[in-house]
């Protein structure tokens, strides 16, 4: 059911943790399954993502997709990080079962939320980036 890459990133997730004083942080959640994902970015003066960490309270696929997403955005500019879509994450993991596609969406949304936070703090515009749709407070309250 799961590819070897998914199993690898689930059992040995990369970039787990927090960044102190992050350049941007984003937390998103899925109200249906209750899974929550938080991404921290460390961005340098050239707008290159030097470091990225995540914390995921969620299913195995959510952990594997967050791990892969951090690997894919590391070293990219904040603009290029937008190309790390849920599709890109899924492809890099050699696919996910259909019921787990929303988990990869959470990874994309977490990156976007962290990028949005970074852009707001630095008054810059990342072309094509939209404000995060999920407000984590709402998700927590809904439950």
Q: Shortest approach of ligand FES to residue 38 CB, angstroms? A: 13
Q: What tokens were used for 121?
A: 């703090």
Among 28, 64, 73, 106, binds ligand FES (CB under 6 A): 106
Taking residue 21's Cβ as centre, other Cβ atoms within 10 Å add up to 7
23 vs 30, beta carbon nearer ligand FES: 30
Quote the least distance from Cβ 134 to ligand FES, whole Å.
12
Which are the contacts of 96, defined by CB distance < 8 A and separation ≥ 6?
2, 6, 61, 65, 90, 103, 104
Stretch that binds ligand FES, among 30-38, 74-82, 113-121, 125-133 (CB under 6 A): 30-38
Separation CA 64–CA 30 (nearest Å): 16
Q: Which of 30, 66, 67, 70 binds ligand FES (CB under 6 A)?
A: 30
C-alpha–C-alpha distance, residues 65 and 105, integer Å: 9
Among 12, 18, 31, 33, the one annotated catalytic: 33
Quick check: is 103 catalytic? yes
User: Is position 33 annotated as part of the catalytic site?
Assistant: yes
35 binds ligand FES (CB under 6 A): yes
As a whole number of angstroms, the distance between CA 128 and CA 124 comes to 12
Tokens read off for 39:
């991404």
Report the relative pairing of strands 24-29 and 36-43 from DSSP bridges: antiparallel
> Residue from 17, 18, 33, 97 that binds ligand FES (CB under 6 A)?
33
Question: Which sequence positions are flagged as catalytic?
Answer: 33, 103
* Residues that bind ligand FES in the complex, under the rule CB under 6 A: 30, 33, 35, 58-59, 61-62, 100, 102-103, 106
């Amino acid at each position: 059911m799961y590819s070897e890459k998914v199993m690898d990133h689930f059992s040995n997730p990369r970039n787990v943790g927090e960044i102190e004083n992050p350049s941007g942080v984003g937390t998103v959640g899925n109200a249906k399954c209750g899974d929550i994902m938080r991404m921290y970015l460390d961005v340098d003066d050239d707008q290159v993502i030097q470091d990225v960490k995540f914390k995921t309270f969620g299913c195995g696929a959510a952990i594997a997709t967050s791990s892969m997403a951090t690997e894919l955005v590391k070293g990219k500019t904040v603009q290029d990080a937008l190309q790390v879509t849920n599709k890109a994450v899924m492809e890099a993991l050699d696919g996910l079962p259909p019921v787990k596609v929303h988990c990869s969406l959470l990874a994309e949304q977490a990156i976007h939320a962290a990028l949005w936070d970074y852009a707001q703090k630095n008054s810059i515009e990342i072309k094509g980036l939209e404000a995060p749709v999920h407000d984590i407070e709402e998700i927590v309250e809904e439950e």
